[in-house]
Amino acid sequence: MSPEGKRALIAAVRRVVFTGLIILGAWLVLVGIRAAIPADILREESIRYPPASWDWSRSLWTGKSVAEMIGQRLGVTAQLLVLGGLLSLVVAGVLLFLGVLISRATERPPWLARVRQVLRLVLVSGNVSAPIFMVGTLFIVYSTLWWGWSLPKTYEGVSWWPVFFVSLIPAWLLVQAGHGEMANWLGSPSVSYWVPVRQLSVRLVIRLLKLVGAIIVVTMLVEQIFALPGLGRLLIERLNQRDFPVEFGVAWVFVVMVVLVKLAAELLEIAYNHFGRPPVSSEHREKPAVPRISIPRGWLIICLVLVFVSIMAAVVGPAFAPFGYNEINMADRLVPPSARHILGTDNLGRDVFSRLLYGIRVDILAGLMCAGILSVVAAGWAMLAAYLRKANNWLGDTLEDVVMLPQDITCAFPWLVLLLLWMSIVGPGFIPVALIGSLVLFPRAIGMMQEAYHSPPEGRDWLYGVLWSIPVMFLFAVAGGILYTYSTSYLGFGIPPPTPELGIMLSGSGLRYIQLAPWMVQWPSICLVLLLLVWVMAGDALLGEVRLPLQGSVG
C-alpha cells in the first residue's frame, strides 16, 4: 500500500474511533449538565428532588415515556431535515450556475469584476445575517394577517413553506463552499474553466452533511414558527416547563444524529480524496489555490468603519435617547411615528427609538464580551493543535485530533440546543448569556482557525494562518454573540425584560400588536439585520484581504 493510501486508511479508522469517543464525551457532558441542576429548581411537592432521584426515562409532568414522546415527533423533524437539505442543494446549484454565468460576463473591465465581488459579499453576508426565525415570523404574520395567504400543505401536514425556510441558510452556506471549491480548480492546467460536475456535486453533498448541526438549529426554529409537531418544538416546549428528562432525551437524539451524519461525511470525503478525486498537476496539489475573492481594499476600510460606528452607537447612543428605555406613558401607547416619537411607541407607551438605542448597546456589548473571552482561549488552543500537526503525517494528524477532541464533542451539540440547555439551568441574565455564548461559540471559532492553519496563504507558515485568523474570528464571533443573545431572548431564556434587547422587542408584545403597531417589530428586525450584516461583512472582507481559505466562514 502506498504512503498516501496508508494515511487515508489510518484517517478513516481514526475518525471511526474518535466518533465513539465523541459520543461518549457528549454523554458525559450531558451527565455533567444534569449534575449542575440545583436540587430546588422545581418547587413542586409532587416532584422528588434532588434530580438524581428522578426517573429520567419519563416526563416529570405527564409521566409519559421520553422515548415515546420523541418517537411521535421524530418523523416531522426528519422530513424537514431531508427535504430542506435536498432543496438547499438544488437552490445552491442554481445560484452557483448563475454565478458562473455572471462571472464570465463581468470579467472585463476590471472595475466591473470588483463590483461583482462586492455585490457577492453583500448578498452572501446579508442573507446569512437575516435570522431565520425573524424572517419566518414576519412572513407568517404579514402573509396571514395582512394578505390572507394560506400555507399550502403536502403529505402528513408538512407544508412546503417550512421546507423552503429550512433550505435558505444551508443553501447560502453551500454557495460559499461551492464558490471556494470552483476557485480551487480554476487555474489548474489539467482542469477546464468549467468545474467537473462530479467534483462539485460530491463536495456540496459532503459540505451539506457537515452542516447537519446548523440545519437542525434552523429546523428547530422553523418548527417553532410554523407550530409543527417536531423535536425542536418539543424541546422548546419542555424547556419552558423545565421538563428536564424530555429536554435531555431530545438533546441526546440530536447529538447522535449530528455525530453519525458527520462521520458519514468525513468517511465519504476521505474515500473521495483517495479514490475519486480528479487528477491535478503536482504544483496545484502542493499549493492549493485560495478562493479568488478580490475585494477592493477601500471596501474593507468601509466595512471596518461601519464596525467602529456600530461600537460607537453602542457606547454613546443611549445618551441621545429622548426618553428612558422603560419610561411608561399609557396616554401615548401605540402612537405611530411622529415628531415627538420618531419611531412610534409600544403597547406601554415607551418610545421605540429610545429602546432601540439601549437594545443595540446590550446586544453589541454581549457580542464583544463573547468574542473577547473566546479570542484568548481559542487562539491558544489553535496554536497548540497547529504546532502538533506541523509534522504533516499520520502521527501529527492524530495528535491534532486528540487536542481537538473537546471541540468535536461540543460541536456534536447543535449550538441552540446546548445554549438553551445551559440557560434553562443557569437562568436568564446578561452575564450568563455572554459566558455561555462564548462556550457555544468555541468549537466554531476553533474550526475556523483550524482551516486557516491547514491551508495558509502561499509562502506563509502555519503561524501566519493562526495569527491572521484571530481578527477574522473576532469579527465573526461578535456577530455570533449578537445572534445568540437575540435568539435566547426571543425564545424567553436570555436577557429578561424590561431590559431593552432586540429579541425581546420582536417577540411577545411586538408580535401581539403587529397589526396595530407594525413599527414595534419592524425597527428591531432592521437593526438586528444591519448589525449582523456589518460584522459578518467586515469579517468576510478581511478574510478576502488576508487570503485565508475559510469556506462557509459565516456558518
pLDDT tens-place string over residues 444-459: 888 788 777 777 766 6
Q: Does some domain include residue 83?
A: yes
Q: Does some domain include residue 103?
A: yes
Q: Does some domain include residue 122?
A: yes
Angstrom CA distances, 309 to 27, 318, 474, 540, stand at 44, 14, 17, 18
Q: Does some domain include residue 453?
A: no
Residue count of the chain? 555
Q: Does some domain include residue 464?
A: no
Give the residue numbers spanning the domain of 88: 39-294
Q: CA-to-CA distance for 465 and 66, rounded, in angstroms?
A: 46
pLDDT at 190: 45
Q: Does some domain include residue 50?
A: yes
Q: Which ranges of the chain have pLDDT less than 50?
A: 152-155, 187-193, 280-292, 552-555
pLDDT at 44: 61
pLDDT at 45: 53
Contacts of 147 (CB under 8 A, 6+ apart): none
Q: What angle do CA 17, 21, 25 make, to 5 degrees?
A: 170
Q: Does some domain include residue 209?
A: yes
pLDDT tens column, 300-356: 899 899 999 999 999 998 888 898 888 888 888 888 898 888 999 988 889 999 999
Q: Does some domain include residue 317?
A: no
How many folded domains does the chain comprise?
Answer: 1
pLDDT at 235: 92
Looking up residue 73, the CATH number of its domain turns out to be 1.10.3720.10
Q: Are 257 and 216 in contact (CB under 8 A)?
A: yes
The pTM of the full predicted model, rounded to 2 decimals, is: 0.82
- Lookup: cell for 198: 462530479
